[in-house]
Structure 1
Amino acid sequence: MYDYLQRGALAGAVGGGAYGLYMALVGNPLVAHAETLAHESHAHEHAHEVSEPLVSEGLMQAISVGSGVALGLLFGVVVFGVVAFLVEPALPERGQSYLLGLAGFLTVSGVPWLVLPPAAPGVETSLAVGTSRYLYVGLIATGAIACLAAGSIYTRLSDHGNAVAGVAGVAVFTAIVGVAVLVAPSPTYESALPASFESLYVGAIVVGQLGLWGITAATHARLKSSRTERPPDVRPIAAD
């Protein structure tokens, strides 16, 4: 168990660090620009007083990197540590790390975004903040259940071939997620931001999350292969 947690933590730290750098260099400027556009769009209705930022840009970048590392550690320990330890025997021999990464992305981001897509600052939704949080958590749980159910079906049907088992797993995942999306309330959004900028912002968020999970999965796979390829310890023979 300790080896799983150690590999997961190391992989998560690498992926989280890369994600933090991405947010510091790409995400934060986009957020700042979105806030500027939102303020400008309301300038004709409300007087806006420009104020100095509470923290410096350098400190904000350091916070972004630190937050990314912390988030990566959390995902690494939970998904690539605990979950990997529990479900590894049921996973295919090849691509285990990438399957875990895909399942993590779908659970934490992919499935919730089908109902609550990422929105730029200044975009208002029809759902209350509390309702959105509970809905997001519920969709995360739905994604986790769908991934586990798909994996279970794949394992049971693996004797019939990988293609049959894979199609069945995808079908089960799609059915569970589809029902959840149909039942969940569909919020509406109001925004004064340009549509092109909103698309750019959403794309940047999606790329960041894909990078976080992808780099973490690749690092985890590399750590596993290094562990497998490491020769056994050979103790030197004492001279007579």
Structure 2
Amino acid sequence: MSASAHTPAPHPAAPASTPPIAPRALLVRGLLVGLLAGLVSFGVSAVVGEPTIDAAIAYEESVAPAPEPGAPAEDELVSRGTQATWGLGAASVAVGGALGGLVALGAALAIGRLGRLDPTRATAVVAAVGFVAVALVPWLAFPANPPGVGDPGTIGSRTLAWFGLLDVSVLTALAAVVVAVRLATRLDAYAAGVLAAAGYLVVVLVTVALLPDPAPLGDVPAQVLWDFRLASLLTLTTLWGVLGVGLVGTVRRLQRDVVARADRRALAASL
């Protein structure tokens, strides 16, 4: 019997693992998507938000006491026209760009660390958790008020309470994601997600109960208040929605490019 008969057949080479998405590429695209999200949210705010602010200012002026005769008029540091156009647009784009960079960094850290989730789904989870923890929960606990509503003397305490809730919400959301990933190794993914979400909700509700109550609203018309808060929520949802959809689509395209390059290198190595 020949020696070749005893030689085992060579095993096929194991496919090379797919290279990860470069964090720098993800960050750059996150910034660009964030700028676009800020621009779109500016358009929404200009259409649905500015009329509610004008209505609130008109109400505030209608109930304000008349100035004393001969009293000097107060000078506006920034005109209302500038606030509603260039000021609002610049702030929206800047916030969108910064937020896009932060979410992109969060996605870069989450990819490969959320169990079996691929980069696209991991990015969607980061965007969804970010919207809930950063935007939705603080808005529900401390909804935005139009100009002239609330006690000016409580602005400092209300600001501290809002930032305190934001910190607790973000840190608890991060802990909930970590707990969900670890529980998923023992339970099914659905049960792990439900338990983690329930823990997050309990911590947030306890925190809100311990924080001071919002300031009294006064006699502001209910329709003015509702329209303003609805517009603020719509603007926030637009910002995060465009950011999430755009970033998920970007990661999906980056992943396809990475896989295609890896396949080409594998094919070239086999020739």
- What TM-score does the superposition give when structure 1 sets the normalisation length? 0.85
Q: Secondary structure at the match of 2:229?
A: helix
Q: Which residue of structure 1 lines up, in the alignment, with residue 111 of structure 2?
A: 88
Partner secondary structure for residue 141 of structure 2: coil
Q: Is the Cα contact below 8 Å between 1:98 and 1:217 reproduced in 2? A: yes
Q: Match for 1:225 among 245, 252, 256?
A: 252
- Partners of 2:46 and 2:188 in 1: CA distance: 45
Aligned partners of 2:152 and 2:81: how far apart in 1? Answer: 32
Q: Structure 1 residues 8-17 or 113-122, which shifts more?
A: 113-122
The answer to whether the Cα contact below 8 Å between 1:10 and 1:76 also exists between their aligned partners in 2 is yes
1:164 matched residue in structure 2: 191
* Contact 2:144 2:232 survives alignment (8 Å): yes
Residue-pair matches, total: 232
Paired-residue identity, %? 23
| Structure 2 letter corresponding to 1:228 | Q
Structure 2 counterpart SS, 1:149? helix
Is 1:10–1:73's contact at 8 Å kept on the other side of the alignment?
Answer: yes
Which piece of structure 1 moves more, 92-101 or 4-13?
Answer: 92-101
Aligned-pair CA distance for 1:126: 7.7
Quickly say closer, same or farther: Cα 1:182–1:82, change in 2 above 3 A: same
Q: Measure, in 1, the Cα distance between the counterparts of 2:172 and 2:80.
A: 43
| Aligned amino acid, residue 24 of structure 1 | A
Residue 190 (structure 1) shift: 2.5
Which residue number corresponds to residue 177 of structure 1?
Answer: 204
Q: Is 1:46 equivalent to 2:46 in the alignment?
A: no
Q: What CA distance in whole angstroms lies between the structure 2 residues aligned with 1:55 and 1:190?
A: 26
Whether the aligned pair in 2 keeps the contact of 1:13 and 1:70 (CA below 8 Å) is: yes
Q: Which runs of no fewer than 5 residues in structure 2 stay unpaired?
A: 1-22, 266-271
Instruction: Quote the residue 2:55 is aligned against.
Output: 33
Residues 88-107 of structure 1 mapped to structure 2, 5 A cutoff: 88-91=111-114, 92-93=117-118, 95-107=121-133
Q: Which has the larger radius of gyration?
A: 2
Tell me, yes or no, if the aligned pair for 1:38 and 1:192 is still in contact at 8 Å: no
Partner Cα separation in structure 2 for residue 86 and residue 38 of structure 1: 47
Choose which of 36, 39, 42 in structure 2 pairs with 1:14.
Answer: 36
Contact 1:118 1:202 in 2 (8 A): yes
1:190-222 Cα distance to aligned partner (Å, 9 max, x none): 233210221111011011101100110000011
Name the SS for the 1:118 alignment partner: coil
